[in-house]
Amino acid sequence: MTSRSSRRATGTWLCLVVALMTLSAPVSSQNENQWDEEDGHPSLCDISEDLVFNGENANTSVGWQVSLGARIPGSEPSAQFRAVVEEDVRAWGWEVHTQQHVSHGMNLTNLFATLNGTGDEERGRIVISAHYDSRNIADKDLNVSNQSLPVPGANDAASGAAILIELARIIPAMNLTQDITLFWNDAEDQNDNYTLGAEAWADNLSQYEIDTMESFVLLDMVGDRDLQLQNIYIGNSTLKTRAQTLGGALGMVNGTTSCTGEDGDGTMQYNITAYVGDDHQHPDELGIPTLSFMDPEYGEKVPGTFGEYWHTMEDTPDKVSEESLGAVGRLVELGLRSGAFVIVEEEQNQLSEENSTTDESGESNDPSKPESRALTGLVILAGLSLFAIVGLIVFAEWKLKH
Ligand SMILES: [Zn+2]
């Protein structure tokens, strides 16, 4: 027996080992590309290089929405908004449907665009929402004669509705694993009645829809040219932590260096907590992980309000900027592309239990990922065992031949 044939045999075994390790690679690389609550996300900066969200498109949409007139539930401008959005998003590949409700004497229409993910049959759903109605009264306007007029609603909340429209344009090409629903909710902001559309939607969810919802992400007042996204009270703490990581990568967090090496600009200020009752409280009550992006200081700070332009006739498109809309849009896009809005099912169930039993605050603790860690451990163990067995065989073969 020549050493050459022995080397060939060893080479064959090595090829087998490499092939088997390659076969097991998709499992481990998938885990590497997911969020780890301790180490964050290893590929976030790579993903952030390829974002395509266009702030100019969103800004144009804000101007268009305001030009329609007051988007009050049941009004003609409200119907025009839905008709145009419906036509656009259908053309981009989405399924569209509406839900009608009567609440507090108002006819509300929630508008939904849905897109199937590329994952397996068990895939979950991410819901991203903004209210598209504008407030019927400018009751915070300092000019008393303005207080009975409907607000222009550029930031509150044409900004969020516009970001959803631009997301509808870019999401189909992302090939996301999860199902996505874009939800333009109605009647968030009428008289003393708030979040009626989101409430009616949440009330009509089936248990299956609740159980398979990965997260609910809300955008409200996100276009202020002086953007200050704050930590909105009520919401899933894991999602909030991830949101800050996303913002840090994009250069939005003070004291955090971005992926491009720049200092954060402070447009994300999660060290400040704002207590806001908003649409996300309804899915939150159902145990669905929620995250709200909102700037609660619109214009100069005014105690007891969300800023000087809030619920006034000053809520006009010039107070909103393409840059702010683009920054928030890219934040959500990065979250979608990186899997930030997906918490593995084991965690979600755990959160639901915590929310329904012990946790009165609505804040949830960061759970660990026991199942996913166990799986990674098993893969490593299997790989090592395989390596040891093959090594023994190669050694035995070599020993027999010498
Ligand atoms: Zn409002």
Q: Mean pLDDT, to the nearest integer, of 43-56?
A: 96
Please state the pTM of the whole predicted model: 0.79
The alpha carbon of 311 and the centre of ligand 1 are apart by a number of angstroms equal to: 6
132/273 same-domain check: yes
Q: What is the pLDDT of residues 194-234, one digit of tens each?
A: 999 999 999 999 999 999 999 999 999 999 999 999 999 99
7/63 same-domain check: no
pLDDT of residue 351: 45
66/138 same-domain check: yes
307/199 same-domain check: yes
The alpha carbon of 145 and the centre of ligand 1 are apart by a number of angstroms equal to: 19
180/239 same-domain check: yes
pLDDT surpasses 70 at 6: no
- Going from the C-alpha of 201 to that of each of 130, 178, 206, 277, the distances in angstroms are 13, 20, 10, 16
Across 108-133, b (16+ Cβ under 10 Å) vs e yields bbbbbbbbebeeeeebbbbbbbbbbb
79/7 same-domain check: no
Out of 166-175, 312-321, 376-385, least confident range: 376-385
pLDDT class of 120 with cuts at 50, 70, 90 = confident
The count of other CB atoms within 10 Å of the CB of residue 68 is: 18
60/117 same-domain check: yes
User: Quick check: is 341 in a domain?
Assistant: yes
Out of 9-13, 132-136, 200-204, 209-213, least confident range: 9-13
pLDDT surpasses 70 at 43: yes
Q: Is the dihedral of CA 47, 177, 57, 65 positive or negative?
A: negative
User: Quick check: is 366 in a domain?
Assistant: no
Q: What are phi and psi of 258, to 5 degrees?
A: -75, 175
The H or E element spanning position 259 is none
Q: What is the pLDDT of residues 378-401, one digit of tens each?
A: 556 666 777 777 767 666 776 666
96/20 same-domain check: no
DSSP state of 205: -
371 vs 63, more confident: 63
pLDDT of residue 58: 98
User: Quick check: is 46 in a domain?
Assistant: no
Largest separation between any pair of C-alpha atoms in the chain = 103
The alpha carbon of 219 and the centre of ligand 1 are apart by a number of angstroms equal to: 12
DSSP state of 160: H
Out of 124-133, 137-146, 227-236, 344-353, least confident range: 344-353
User: Quick check: is 383 in a domain?
Assistant: yes
Q: Mean pLDDT, to the nearest integer, of 288-295?
A: 97
The alpha carbon of 81 and the centre of ligand 1 are apart by a number of angstroms equal to: 18
User: Quick check: is 136 in a domain?
Assistant: yes
250/223 same-domain check: yes
145/207 same-domain check: yes
The alpha carbon of 384 and the centre of ligand 1 are apart by a number of angstroms equal to: 58
User: Quick check: is 362 in a domain?
Assistant: no
17/84 same-domain check: no
Residue 211 token pair: 């159980």
**Helical pair 322-338 and 55-68, crossing angle rounded to 10 deg:** 120
The alpha carbon of 237 and the centre of ligand 1 are apart by a number of angstroms equal to: 24
The count of structural domains within the chain is 2
Question: Which residues on neighbouring strands pair with residue 106, listed in sequence order?
Answer: 103
Over the chain, what is the mean pLDDT?
A: 85
User: Quick check: is 288 in a domain?
Assistant: yes
The alpha carbon of 310 and the centre of ligand 1 are apart by a number of angstroms equal to: 7
pLDDT surpasses 90 at 52: yes
**Helical pair 55-68 and 76-91, crossing angle rounded to 10 deg:** 150
pLDDT surpasses 60 at 7: no
96/210 same-domain check: yes
Please give the residue range of the domain that contains residue 397: 3-36+376-401
The alpha carbon of 194 and the centre of ligand 1 are apart by a number of angstroms equal to: 9
- Following CA atoms 319, 320, 322, 324 in sequence, which dihedral angle do they give, to the nearest 10 degrees? 110
The alpha carbon of 371 and the centre of ligand 1 are apart by a number of angstroms equal to: 41
- In sequence order, what are the residues at sequence separation of 6 or more whose Cβ sits closer than 8 angstroms to the Cβ of residue 223? 58, 59, 62, 154, 155, 158, 159, 160, 162, 319, 320, 321, 324, 325, 328
The alpha carbon of 189 and the centre of ligand 1 are apart by a number of angstroms equal to: 5
The tokens 């199902």 sit on which residue? 179
pLDDT of residue 40: 77
pLDDT surpasses 60 at 175: yes
Q: Where residue 110 sits, what CATH number does that domain have?
A: 3.40.630.10
User: Quick check: is 81 in a domain?
Assistant: yes
Q: What is the pLDDT of residues 64-113, one digit of tens each?
A: 999 999 999 999 999 999 999 999 999 999 999 999 999 999 999 999 99
pLDDT surpasses 90 at 350: no
pLDDT surpasses 60 at 122: yes
Q: What is the pLDDT of residues 226-263, one digit of tens each?
A: 999 999 999 999 999 999 999 999 999 999 999 999 99
